[in-house]
Structure 1
Amino acid sequence: MPPFDVPEGDPFGPHNLPYGVFSPPGSSERRVGVRLGDHVLDAGAAAHALGSPYASLLARPTLNPLLAAGRTAWSDIRRALTAWVTVPAHRETVEPLFHPLASVALHLPFEVADYVDFYASENHARNVGRIFRPDAPDSLTPNWKHLPIGYHGRAGTVLVSGTDVVRPSGQRKAPTDPVPVFGPSVRLDIEAEVGFVVGAPSEPGRPVPLGGFRDHVFGLCLLNDWSARDVQAWEYVPLGPFLGKSFATSVSAWITPLDALEEARVAPPERTHELLPYLDDADEEPGGYDLRISVAVNGHVVSEPPFSTMYWTAAQQLAHMTVNGASLRTGDLYGSGTVSGPAEGQRGSLLELTWNGRDALELPDGKRTFLEDGDVVTLSAWAPGPDGVRVGLGEVTGRIVPRADPAS
């Protein structure tokens, strides 16, 4: 089907227009692309052909220059793109600049500056608390309702969807083991998350308030925070996640602009504790997003976590991340934390779905507690769009492969 003739209701119609970076067939050159249906528009070539003042931002091998340009440029370019793919007068010029999605190679769409991951789902935090602290009077830690808990990750191991994930090795020690042992993780897990991509930077020493979220955050993507639970359990006290998390974080190839998600905005869950002023969003515009996530292992859906249940919003996370004066850089990525709903079929990690390995999942190809070599995990999602049309958020997929040269 020609690219202009996207079927009505297609989740990647003109109401969406997510950005990515691709190489055309037979070429290694990287180009900024915009998805329309099952095609990719060479955005830089279209901008040049139509005389756009933003052509230089789009004729790059990465999204970073566009991200750094700021909100006015983001809005202007989005309006122009919408016209380019919908106005019949542009069809003759633009149509030859599309490529079938199946024919192109997709790349990591932006250069990741820093990576931070949060812990923002109350359902997930309570499940983890019940698993590891069953005798505690409260399954949440004392600080959880007062601030968004997070940790700094490793930007250099953020991978684009479709990249194999090598099973990590590290130290692990079961409670009954006299000493730690070293070897490949035997409790490899997933975490279904949403990643937020920072565009406009901020100055050191100047916190970003809640109202500054949309001036700094360009868009979002799906994110899988792969986790070696056995390595994590041994190393995380007292400084938190390290090698159990830093080996790989997978993101989708498409970045959905926040402007495409206006109809998906919702109020977050009711606050049960009074918040300090810099986190108090009672008088702010709705900060939650109604994103419907699906988690599949080897093609079999095992969970459908709802993002609307997240206690801490992306705006609060950004405000907390910078309240000490830490600056933002173009290409910063921060993850929402595992998305889990209140029902068993809405849990966003195998840790929760199997209750730490106690209750194996029944899959068509056998039982699973944690991931085995060869397993393929796919996160996909959509959000409500205008006039009842869905906004597709793409997918992030990774296949577990054994380490080729295990260290000793």
Structure 2
Amino acid sequence: MTAADHLAWGVVRPTGAHASIAARLGDRVLPLRPPAEAGLLGHDLDLRHAIEEPTLNALIELGRPAWRALAERVRHLIDVGHPLMPLAFCEELLPVRIGDYVDFYASLEHVENFGRLWRPGQPAVHENWRHMPVGYHGRASTVVVGGTPVRRPRGQVAPGELAATRALDLECEVGFVCGPSARGPVAVDDAERHIFGVVLVNDWSARDIQRFEYVPLGPFLGKSFATSMSAWITPLDALPRATPRAQDFAPAEYLRAREPWTLDVALEIEVGGEVLSRPRSSWLYWTPAQMLAHMTVNGATLTAGDLFASGTVSGSEPGTEGSLGEIGRGERWLADGEEVVLRGRCGDVELGEVRGQVLTAAP
């Protein structure tokens, strides 16, 4: 999953054992609670207590120096031959307790594609879109770890018509796990200090429900039923930076970084065993730092474990779309029983995968 010198962080439940924060290297994992209890990960009480927690939130709150110190100790254990456990012997759990989830709409190509599909004859891109990262608050309680099946939702698809969605879609996204906490605006140049790591996200979408409800306040039931997140968080420190695409207008002052950066995550979308598309996150119009700065500019609190996602990552050429609605031009949707797998790689670092199978709607 990772290059040889990079660890990913998650939470696992080994067969016959309690859940534990864990480090992952390739297809092997090291649950951290046993070596911490044996004193093999140092004697810092705050770090020890964080490792004993059922999620990564307390560790994330400690900040970058603590993350780096723990990574160094884990690497030392691996170097001296401390035994690792096959990942296949573990159940992967949601790695963080998510207090808030924000989904952005940062791909110009995705905005244009759906604008043409849903508003033919009207401007595909609204005036505000090029001036700020547009987003909405999702439902944190329905973020699930990759591998969790997703049941086809019901909702209003026309006036008075409650039905199971007939237009179930996927959205291939890059997600960012936040922390440590911040009470007030996070400056665009400080964003890296408040992003713990990166995950893959599938923001499942019921397009017929979404289309009927989204004017005037935006998505609601068409999105809130499920969002899948990969089980392993790759530290932002481990990922190479890329140069962002040029923006059409100089953004507002709070969105101007001294040294702008983004990530070039090569993504892959597989449905039913067939690879349909390969978009890249470096094509996004807005950067992760701009998204975080905009999300907090009004004073909104940032809490360790909060998740924000890029929105669908799409390109301008066939085979680079980030959703099935774009790939099939509104004619192809997910069927019951189909499995979606999203994969990602940034430089030489594998970000793993997030998968989910569609279940029939509840009776």
TM-score (norm 1): 0.86
Structure 1 distance, partners of 2:101, 2:227, is 10
Q: Which amino acid aligns with 1:165?
A: V
Cα contact 1:305–1:347 (8 A) shared by 2: yes
For 1:279 and 1:299, the matched residues in 2 are separated by: 40
Q: Distance in 2 between matches of 1:242 and 1:134?
A: 23
**Residue 155 of structure 1: aligned partner:** 140
1:370/1:34 CA distance change after superposition, 3 Å: same
Q: 1:182-211: CA deviations, max 9, x gaps?
A: 1100000000001110121111xx211012
Query: Which amino acid in structure 2 is aligned with residue 372 of structure 1?
Result: A
Asked if the contact 1:30/1:60 (under 8 Å) is kept, the reply is: no
Identify the residue that residue 304 of structure 1 maps to in structure 2: 278
Task: Tell me whether 1:325 sits opposite 2:299 in the alignment.
Answer: yes
Q: How far apart, in 2, do the equivalents of 1:335 and 1:51 lie?
A: 32
**Which residue in the other structure is 2:181 paired with?**
201
Alignment of 1:293 with 2:267, yes or no, is yes
Decide whether the 8 Å contact of 2:153 with 2:361 is kept in 1: yes
The 3-state SS of whatever aligns with 2:351 is strand
| Residue 44 in structure 1 maps to residue 18 in structure 2 | no
Q: 1:51 to 1:43 in 2, by over 3 A?
A: closer
Question: Are the counterparts in 2 of residues 185 and 231 from structure 1 also a CA contact under 8 Å?
Answer: yes
Look up the equivalent residue of 2:182 and give its one-letter code: S
Determine which of 185, 191, 195 is the counterpart of 1:213.
191
> Partner of 2:13 in structure 1?
23
- Secondary structure (helix, strand or coil) at the match of 2:136 reads strand
CA contact (8 A) 2:41 2:70 kept: no
Q: 2:154 aligns with which of 128, 148, 169?
A: 169
Letter of the 2:139 partner, please give it: R
Q: 1:55 deviation in Å?
A: 2.8
Task: Tell me, yes or no, if structure 1 residue 398 matches structure 2 residue 340.
Answer: no
- 1: CA distance, partners of 2:313 / 2:170: 11
The one-character-per-residue Cα deviations of 1:46-95 (angstroms, maximum 9, x if unpaired) are: 33431412333223221111111112211222222233223xxx32xx21
Distance in structure 1 (CA, Å) of the matches to 2:330 and 2:319: 15
Any conservation in 2 of the 1:14–1:85 contact (CA below 8 Å)? Answer: no
Do the aligned residues in 1 keep the contact of 2:145 with 2:229 (CA within 8 Å)?
A: yes
One-letter identity of the residue aligned with 2:8: P
**Which one has a bigger Cα radius of gyration?**
1
Equivalent residue number for residue 24 of structure 2: 35
CA contact (8 A) 2:41 2:73 kept: no
Give matches, 1:6-405, under 5 Å: 11-27=1-17, 29-49=18-38, 50-52=40-42, 53=44, 54-86=47-79, 90-91=80-81, 94-95=82-83, 98-136=84-122, 138-173=123-158, 179-203=159-183, 206-261=184-239, 263=240, 265-281=241-257, 283-284=258-259, 286-357=260-331, 369-384=332-347, 390-404=348-362
Deviations 1:74-133 (A, max 9, x none): 1222222233223xxx32xx21xx211111111001111001100001111111112122
Distance of aligned partners of 1:375 and 1:225 in 2 relative to their CA distance in 1, 3 Å threshold: same
Q: Distance in 1 between matches of 2:76 and 2:249?
A: 46
Distance 1:170 1:273 in 2: 39
Distance 1:140 1:132 in 2: 12
**Structure 1 range deviating more: 336-345 or 125-134:** 125-134
Deviations along 1:108-162, one digit per CA (max 9) or x if unpaired, are 01111001100001111111112122212x4211011100000001000000011
C-alpha RMSD over aligned residues: 1.3
Deviation at 1:180, TM superposition (A): 3.7
Per the alignment, in what secondary structure is the counterpart of residue 325 of structure 2? helix
Instruction: Work out the CA distance in 1 between the residues paired with 2:58 and 2:146.
Output: 22
Post-superposition Cα deviations, 1:2-56, rounded to whole Å, max 9, x if no partner, equal xxxxxxxxx42442210110011123x2101111121111123233431412333
C-alpha contact (below 8 Å) 1:44/1:56 kept by paired residues: no
Aligned length: 359
User: Would you identify which runs of 4 or more consecutive aligned residues in structure 1 move more than 3 Å?
Assistant: none
Q: Distance in 2 between matches of 1:352 and 1:375?
A: 18
Cα distance in 2 for residues equivalent to 1:14 and 1:267: 25
Unpaired runs of at least 5, structure 2: none
2:41–2:74 Cα contact (<8 Å) kept: no
The CA distance in 2 between the partners of 1:106 and 1:51, in whole Å, is: 22
The letter for the 2-side match of 1:293 is L
Task: State the Cα deviation string for residues 151-178 of structure 1 (Å, max 9, x = none).
Answer: 00100000001101000000002xxxxx
Structure 2: distance between partners of 1:383 and 1:32: 24
> Could you tell me how far 1:298 is from its partner in structure 2?
1.2
> Which amino acid counterpart does residue 252 of structure 2 have in structure 1?
L
Please tell me whether the aligned partners of residues 30 and 61 of structure 1 are also in contact (alpha carbons under 8 angstroms).
Answer: yes
CA–CA distance in 1 between the matches of 2:190 and 2:64?
A: 11
Question: CA–CA distance in 2 between the matches of 1:260 and 1:48?
Answer: 27
- More displaced 10-residue stretch of structure 1: 164-173 or 11-20: 11-20
Question: TM-score if structure 2 supplies the norm length?
Answer: 0.96
Identity over the aligned pairs, expressed in percent?
A: 46
2:335–2:358 contact (8 Å) kept in structure 1: yes
